[in-house]
Copies of this chain bind each other. A is one copy, B any other.
Amino acid sequence: MSHHLGTRSGGTPDMAEIYSDAATIGHALAFEAALARAQGDEGLIVRTAADAIVAAAGGLHIDPEELADEAEHAGTLAIPLVRRLRVALPEDVAAKAHLGATSQDVADTVLTLQMKAGARLLDRDAARLCVALCAHAERHAGTPAIGRTLLQDACPIGFGLRFAQAAAGIDDARRRLADEIGTAARIQLGGAAGTRAGLGGKGAAIAARVARELDLANSEPWHARRTGLAAVASALAILIGAAAKFARDIALLSQDRIAEAREPRVAGRGGSSAMPHKRNPTGCQVALSAAYRAPGLAASLLGGLPQEAERGLGGWQAEGPVLADLFGLAAASLAAMTIVAEGLEIDADAIARNLAEAGQGSDIGESEALVAALVAHIGRS
C-alpha cells in the first residue's frame, strides 16, 4: 500500500495494486506486445520481429522510479519506456516496436486497462455493500421508527426503508459505472494524429486484434474526444456520493441522544487521542471525506473536455492522476461502509423511544412494500 502519510488517497490495498507502478508498466508493455503480435498477424511486420518484441516486452525489467523521473522530464511515459524496449531488441527489429503508435496510444490504453480493473473491484465491493444493506432493510422493514426531514422529526417510517433507499442509490451508481466502463474501457490506437497512418492500411484490423487481446472494447481513435472518461469520473463521484449518503445517515443516527445505530466496534478504530470514552464514526468519516473531494475531481475532467485539435495540450495529461484518486477514494469509501453495514449495531429500544417521544403515531404507510420493491430491483442487478 502507498505509504504517504499526509497525502494517501485512502485507497485499499487491492486498488493500490491496480494503480501501482508495476501494474502501469505491465500494462504499457502489454500494449506494445499486443501491438506487435497484431502487426505480425496482419503481416505488417514479420512474425519473427513480432515474436522478438513480445518476448522483450515480457522480459523487460524496469526501475519504476527511474522511469518516472524520465517520463516526467520527457513529458510522456512512452518515450523512455519504448527506448528501453528498443534497446532490448536486435537493431533491425528495434524500429518495429511501437510502430505506428503514439505516446497517447500507450497512455490511454494503460488508463483504460486500469479503469476496467478498478471498476471490477468497485462493482464487487458495491454489490457486497448492497447485500448488507438489503439484509438490514428487510429485517427492519416493518419496524416503526421516526422519520426525519430537514433534520426534524417528521412522520414514522419503517426503519428498514432508509437502508433500502441507501442501497438503491448505491446500486444505481454501480450500474451507471458498469455501463460507462463498458464503452469507455476501449482501445486507443490512432498514431501520431489519430489517422492510423503508418499501419499499412490495416489499422482497423490491428486495433481490433489489440483490443481483443487486452480485453478492451474496440474503438476508433478518441485522442481528443474525452466524453467517456468524463462520464466515468462523474459515475465514480456519484458512487462516492451515494455511499456518503449512507454514511451521513449513520453518522446522524449515531449521535448521542439519538443513538439508533452505531458503527461496530473495531479494535483500534474510532478512538480519540484525548477522550477514552469516545467512539467515533470513523468508517463514515472515510466515506464523507471522500465525498468532499470527489466533486472537484470529477469537475476537473469535465473542465478538460474542450481539448485542442487532434491531441490537446494539458487536458488529457491531467486525467490520469485524477481518475486514480477517484478510484482510490471510491474503494476506501466502499470498504469502510461495508464494515459499517455488516457490523452495524442497531438499538431497537432507542428507535422505539425516539418514536414515542416524537408523538406522531406509528403509521409507516407502505414502507414494507417499498422496501420489497426497492430490494427486488437491486436484486435484479
Contacts and interface: CB of A to CB of B under 8 A. Distances in A.
Interface string A246-284: 011101101111100000001011111111011111101
B196 A370 contact: yes
Contacts of A19: 4, 6-7
Interface stretch (A33-41, A47-55, A122-130, A164-172): A164-172
Interface in A89-118: 98, 100-103, 106, 110, 114
Contacts of A60: none
B256 A357 contact: yes
Interface string A298-324: 111011111111111111011011101
Protomer copies: 4
B272 A102 contact: yes
A256 B305 contact: no
Contacts of A65: 1, 3
Nearest to A278: B152
Nearest to A10: B72
Nearest to A297: B296
Nearest to A103: B273
A187 to B, nearest CB: 14
A179 B79 CA distance: 40
Given A67-B5, A73-B268, A295-B299, A101 B273 contact: yes
A61 interface: no
A6 B251 contact: no
Interface in A326-381: 354, 357-358, 360, 363-367, 369-370, 373-374
Given A282-B75, A305-B238, A320 B148 contact: no
A300 B228 CA distance: 21
Contact of A254 (B152, B157, B298): B152
Contacts of A242: 225, 227, 305
A178 to B, nearest CB: 13
Given A6-B114, A230-B241, A373-B220, A74 B271 contact: yes
A87 interface: no
Contacts of A74: 268-271, 282
Given A74-B269, A149-B272, A257-B357, 18 more contacts: A6-B320, A7-B325, A102-B272, A150-B312, A152-B281, A154-B193, A154-B278, A155-B192, A161-B194, A166-B225, A173-B227, A192-B275, A248-B308, A251-B313, A257-B258, A284-B313, A289-B314, A293-B300
14 contacts: A5-B68, A73-B266, A75-B270, A100-B274, A149-B310, A149-B311, A151-B309, A198-B274, A238-B305, A241-B302, A285-B313, A288-B313, A288-B315, A295-B303
A237 interface: yes
Contact of A292 (B270, B318, B325): B318
A77 interface: yes
A357 B358 CA distance: 19
Interface stretch (A131-139, A199-207, A209-217): A199-207
A30 interface: no
Contacts of A78: 273
Contact of A314 (B155, B222, B230, B284): B284
